[in-house]
Amino acid sequence: MKLKNKKTAFDSFFLHQGEEGLTAFEKGMEQVSNKLKEVYSDTEQPFIGKTPAEIEKEIAGIMNFAGEGRSLQKVLDEIEGPVIRNSLHISHKKSMAHLHCPPLLPGIIGECIIGTLNQSMDSWDQSTAATYVEEGMVEWLKETVGYPGPSDGVFTSGGTQSNYMGLLLARDSFCQNQWGHNVQKQGLPPEFHRLRILCSEDAHFTVKKSASQLGLGEQAVITVKTDEYHRMCMEDIQNVLKRLKADDMLPFAIAATCGTTDFGSIDPLPELASISEEKGLWFHVDAAFGGGLLLSHSHCDKLKGLEKADSMTIDFHKLFYQPVSCGAFMVKDRRHFGFLSHHADYLNPLKDEDDGIVNLVTKSTSTTRRFDSLKLYLSLKTVGIETFGEMIDRTMELARYTAGYLEGLDTIDLKNKHPEINTIVFRYKPETEIGIGLDELNRAIQQSLLHEGKGVIAKTTVDGETFLKLTLLNPRTSEEDIHELMDEIKKTATQLMNGGLARV
């Protein structure tokens, strides 16, 4: 006998076992989709241009939860201005500030399925099919990277978590091999203050942050000088290693960068792999940005040596065009995940392992975890690997074009004439003395473009001076967009120089 579903007062808030929920779901999706369509059909600028104080005030105005629940349509109408229109419109062709990508539509739609299914990746009994999708995507990534059979990986919230995991495994593996010391059980060994990690001076700040969280302190990170292309200098790393040896220090890992945040530089991976092997160091590669070249047709050779890494970081919410957050951590020898695993009776008892049940919590520093691999799966399948590579190559081509174009402009000081990936670092530099500092002028240009909604570009510091940066992730951005942007920069600079900086 089929039991009739008893109606409750909450039926329109949940999806399963009741007509009301199904109807509300359909209606809600339609309302959301109409609202976003409406906004994006008449939003011409990447940013509305309001000040932080103005936006903060508008948001404060909608932070009221007292009283009865409102209809979804009403709430959507209420957030349209303050939240949706005041957001940074990252899919706009002139949004080119950070390593922050326009999300692919299959990724966005994937988010909807991910939220609906709400699987939790920690144990098989909370992600009965999702566990195998994630494992399948890890398998795909292994093949794409050229990683050997015993390698393994897990999805993470991004580069910060992946770098932390890499250095954690490096630390624990070293302590195990050096002293038979088990950090997981015993805490740091007495000699911990001698442990050292090497990275370039252009490495991501999360290397230092990880060292501090690993109990080694930022003092454990020794930065190696970079060459003129912002790559780790091979001569300096040899000197650093000699000095560390003379000082009786214990270097245990090299954290190479494959795609630095500002210049997209790629450290010499094959050479660093050899040095690591020779000196018995763990070789971690932070390919959060550069990993995107895995699918490139014309630039994937830049990743040579990546497959030699003991562990690596790859972000999908950068050059793989996924909605935040989506990343992976990969390790060459899966046994190293043993340093992370803990068996909780309620979640992943050892008995499960004996029975062949896969509980992914054993590979992660997180417990509850999103089913992010699904959006990458949907994107690769619907866009197709071939087209995916073409999108990345298009951004590389645009970066090369932009570098050439900027080099020809006489008021532009271009820092990277040959962009390694797709970032361009430059600044406006008038030919005559202007009475204000160039740092101040360039900061003002960036702010002014943002507040007039003409373009969202970044600022950074190179050798102590302020520069502007374009991160050209959007394959739809055209040469004309770049011309227009540079015209705006010139116009803004002229206005600022004539009118002073007061108006910004």
Ligand X SMILES: *Cc1c(COP(=O)(O)O)cnc(C)c1O
Residue 105 near residue 266, CB atoms below 8 Å: no
State the minimum distance, in angstroms, from the CB of residue 361 to ligand X. Answer: 20
Instruction: Give the largest CA-CA distance in the chain.
Output: 89
Provide the minimum distance between the beta carbon of 260 and ligand X in the complex, in angstroms, as a whole number.
6
| Interface segment toward ligand X; rule CB under 6 A; list 9-17, 217-225, 253-261, 415-423 | 253-261
Among 121, 165, 237, 288, binds ligand X (CB under 6 A): 288
Comparing C-alpha atoms, which of 396, 458, 456 is closest to residue 426? Answer: 458
Long-range residue pairs from 141-147, CB within 8 A, at least 24 positions apart, any chain: 141/314, 141/328, 141/330, 142/330, 144/294, 144/295, 145/294, 145/306, 145/307, 145/312, 145/330, 146/306, 146/307, 147/307, 147/330, 147/332
User: Of 136-144, 284-292, 347-355, 417-425, which segment contacts ligand X by CB under 6 A?
Assistant: 284-292
Kindly tell me which residue out of 126, 127, 160, 210 binds ligand X, with binding defined by CB under 6 A.
160
User: Nearest distance from residue 311's CB to ligand X, in Å?
Assistant: 13
Binding region for ligand X (CB under 6 A) out of 47-55, 154-162, 339-347, 419-427: 154-162
Task: With contacts defined by CB under 6 A, name the span among 191-199, 255-263, 428-436, 493-501 that binds ligand X.
Answer: 255-263
Per rule CB under 6 A, count of chain residues that contact ligand X: 15
Which of 76, 90, 96, 99 touches ligand X by CB under 6 A? Answer: 99
Instruction: Write the CA distances from 131 to 122, 126, 320, integer angstroms.
Output: 9, 9, 21
Host H or E run for residue 145 = helix 130-145
| Among positions 111, 122, 134, 286, the unique one binding ligand X when judged by CB under 6 A | 286
In the bound complex, what is the minimum distance in angstroms from residue 408's beta carbon to ligand X? 29
Nearest approach in angstroms of CB 287 to ligand X is 8
Exactly one of 119, 173, 210, 257 binds ligand X (CB under 6 A); which one?
A: 257
The closest alpha carbon to 51, from 453, 482, 329, belongs to 453
Q: Which is nearer to ligand X, 289 or 339 (CB)?
A: 289
Contact yes or no for 95/257 (Cβ under 8 A): no
Closest contact distance (angstroms) between CB of 323 and ligand X is 12
Scan for tokens 């060292």, then name that residue.
Answer: 211
Q: 211, 131, 205: which is closest to 170 by C-alpha?
A: 211
**Which range binds ligand X by CB under 6 A, 89-97, 117-125, 283-291, 445-453?**
283-291
Would you say 192 or 282 has its CB closer to ligand X? 282
Q: Which residue, 95 or 348, is less far from ligand X as judged by CB?
A: 95
Among the listed residues 289, 316, 320, 371, the single contact to ligand X using CB under 6 A: 289
Both tokens of 327, joined, read: 């990343």
Among 376, 292, 394, 395, which residue's Cα sits nearest to residue 108? 376
Which structure tokens are listed for 280?
A: 């018995």
Please say whether the beta carbons of 429 and 411 come within 8 A: yes
Q: How far does the chain reach from its first CA to its final CA, in angstroms?
A: 73
Site for ligand X, residues 177 to 206, rule: CB under 6 A: 204, 206
x/- letters, 258..277, toward ligand X (CB under 6 A) = -x-x----------------
Tell me how far, at minimum, the Cβ of 257 lies from ligand X, in Å.
6
User: Which pair of structure tokens corresponds to residue 132?
Assistant: 């195998």
Burial of 169 (0-12, 13-18, 19+ CB in 10 A): buried
Q: How far is the CB of 230 from ligand X (least distance, A)?
A: 12
Between residue 302 and residue 331, which ones bind ligand X under the rule CB under 6 A?
315, 327
**Pick 263 or 371: Cβ nearer ligand X:** 263
Residue type, 348: N
Please report, as residue ranges, which positions from 38 to 77 form the binding site for ligand X (by CB under 6 A): none
Q: What is the DSSP letter of 122?
A: T
d(CA 51, CA 443): 16
Q: 311 in the Ramachandran plot: left (φ > 0), alpha (ψ -120 to 50) or beta?
A: beta
Q: Is 226 in the site for ligand X (CB under 6 A)?
A: no
Distance, CA of 364 to CA of 270 (rounded, Å):
28
Tokens at residue 397, please? Answer: 């081509």
Question: Measured from the CB of residue 118, what is the shortest distance to ligand X in angstroms?
Answer: 22
Our finding on whether 159 is near ligand X (CB under 6 A) is: yes
At 317 the three-state DSSP class reads coil
Spatial separation of the C-alpha atoms in residues 144 and 149, rounded to whole Å: 12
**Of 254-262, 366-374, 376-384, 421-429, which part binds ligand X (CB under 6 A)?**
254-262
Q: Closest CB to ligand X among 163 and 492?
A: 163
Q: Does 173 bind ligand X (CB under 6 A)?
A: no
Task: Pick out residues in 380-419 that bind ligand X (CB under 6 A).
Answer: none
Q: Which region, judged by CB under 6 A, interacts with ligand X, from 122-130, 155-163, 177-185, 475-483? A: 155-163
Instruction: Give the whole-angstrom CA distance, residue 23 versus residue 35.
Output: 18
With CB under 6 A as the contact rule, which of the stretches 117-125, 237-245, 270-278, 281-289 interacts with ligand X?
281-289
Shortest separation between residue 259's beta carbon and ligand X, angstroms: 6
Residue 284 φ then ψ, to 5°: -100, 135
Helix (H) / strand (E) element for 251: namely strand 250-257
| Rounded Cα distance, 330 and 490, in Å | 45
Binding site for ligand X (CB under 6 A): 99, 158-160, 163, 204, 206, 257, 259, 261, 286, 288-289, 315, 327
